Structure 1
């Protein structure tokens, strides 16, 4: 596995973690309310979206066309 392949794997793992953690925090917010779980849920949902955008456009970020 190349370093770029491993990087893609790590980013994909981070996306899954952020999405699951955001869902967990939203569930806590719906059960008990409070600003803390809501803000964490929004933050990690945005982080998952940003990482997904980064992963989808990795070749452009690295200025390489051979990664696709």
Structure 2
């Protein structure tokens, strides 16, 4: 499954810096972060887990990209 995400400039710069230091691609690090998040929250999603964006970050499109084929 292919998915598009948007990062702010600071997050992307930091991700790039870490990737360069560890010789890892941004795609690999993001897949790993998602895998770890899913593993931690698979059984019980904590009711206080902040899964919604803060209002200050809202305003962009809420579109999730993908390759289609559903």
Q: TM-score, normalised by structure 2?
A: 0.31
Flag the structure with more relative contact order, 1 or 2, with Cα contacts below 8 A and sequence separation at least 6: 2
Higher helix proportion: 1
Structure with greater Cα Rg: 1
